Amino acid sequence: MLAVLEAGFPDVTKFPAAELREVIASRRAPLAHQPDMEIARDVVIDGPGGDLTLRVYVPHSESNDPLPVIVFAHGGGFVFCDLDSHDELCRSMADAVDSVIVSVDYRLAPEHQAPAAMEDVYAALLWASENAGEYRGDPDRIAVAGDSAGGNLAATVALAARDRGAPRIAAQILIYPVIDDDFTTESYTKYGVGYYNTTDAMRWYWDQYAPGDRSSEFVVPTRAATLAGLPPALVVTAELDPPCSAGEYYAERLAGDGVPVVAHRFDGLFHGFLTFPKLSLTGPARLELWRMIRDVLKVGDPSAR
């Protein structure tokens, strides 16, 4: 699988951002709209940069109680991917975790640099806290989540919500998150070449998103003086991934500052693997991830009902 990805994925450093988005989008299969949802609806809200589109997924649920809400930020190096690229993952998460998912079509870099994407996800979080009830969601159980660059946005939004005093977040779910811009860690040294996601690509993503000052914790969450007071965290990493060490270090810092943390590394797997549902190892890994998310949100297993 890694060989196929290495051969087929474009060298992101060689393309203008707009062209890169077209190249990557052209590789996608048509949307299957599966698993089926009770509601899968695009909603346009007033964002800090203008219209901001959210996609709200409400699963078919046997529960009569309000469902947890997960505000989700997609990956893509801050530069590409969108609601459609993560549609299947969000549907599968909503179905397996029995939760409302609010996926955010945040502004992309380099046209919109840091912290634009973070502010968009924060605006989506505020919207969810005010409107969750219209979608069977529980406004008192709202989590933020994201994969890759979206993991960075989930972490920084959690910091913003803490520092701004609202809204209360039940959990932060960071999936192989791009936590910081330190390219000298053990995992960058071991896996920076030949494992699909490269050190050169990661450096380029950061240069698109935050080419100048990266001193703010709303850009690089490890810049925060303290992580105390943040919501409980689930930090999921992949062994063969350059950002792996940084994610694990962030989990250690959270725990050291008194934040309840579950840290889990998927050994033998690479960055982005959860968005490849046909990979034989993805299904079992997803089952483990769904269980951990249910645990952090205190949700029962819908398949057991």
Instruction: Considering the candidates 92, 99, 148, 187, report the single residue annotated as catalytic.
Output: 148
- Would residue 305 count as lying in a domain? no
pLDDT at residue 60 tops 60: yes
Q: Cβ distance 41 to 100 under 8 Å?
A: no
Q: Contact 221/93 with Cβ under 8 angstroms?
A: no
CB-CB contact of 292 with 264 (8 Å): yes
- What distance in Å separates the CA atoms of residue 93 and residue 107, rounded to the nearest whole number? 23
pLDDT for 305: 52
| Residue at 152 is within a domain | yes
Which three-class secondary structure state does DSSP give residue 58?
strand
Supply the DSSP symbol for 211: S
Domain assignment present for residue 83? The answer is: yes
Q: Give yes or no for a contact between 206 and 114, defined as CB atoms under 8 angstroms apart.
A: no
Give the angle 94-96-100 at the CA atoms, nearest 5°: 20
pLDDT of residue 5: 87
Question: 3-class DSSP state for residue 207?
Answer: helix
Specify if 55 maps to a domain: yes
Q: What is the DSSP string of 93-155?
A: HHHHHT-EEEEE----TTTS-TTHHHHHHHHHHHHHHHHGGGGTEEEEEEEEEEETHHHHHHH
**Residue 187 pLDDT exceeds 70:** yes
Cis peptide bond prior to 110, omega within 30° of 0: yes
Check if the beta carbon of residue 139 is closer than 8 Å to that of residue 133. yes
- The span from the CA of 235 to the CA of 43, in Å, is 29
Whether 37 and 94 have beta carbons less than 8 Å apart is answered as yes
- Report the C-alpha gap between 121 and 170 in whole angstroms: 16
Q: Is 26 within a domain?
A: yes
Q: Is residue 207 part of a domain?
A: yes
The pLDDT tens digits for 192-240 are 999 999 999 999 999 999 999 999 999 999 999 999 999 999 999 999 9
Q: Is 148 marked active-site?
A: yes
Q: pTM for this one?
A: 0.97
Which CATH number characterizes residue 109's domain? 3.40.50.1820
Give domain status of residue 228, yes or no: yes
Q: Pick from 77, 104, 81: which is nearest to 177 by CA?
A: 77
Residue 213 · residue 113 · CB < 8 Å: no
Question: Tell me, what's the pLDDT at 11?
Answer: 92
Residue of 158, 137, 155 lying closest to 146 (CA atoms):
155
Judge whether 79 lies within some domain: yes
Tokens of 163: 């520092």
Contact 240, 191 (CB under 8 A): yes
Tally of structural domains, the chain: 1
Residue 158 has pLDDT above 90, yes or no: yes
- At 117-134, the pLDDT tens digits run 999 999 999 999 999 999
Q: Give the structural domain span for 39.
A: 2-300
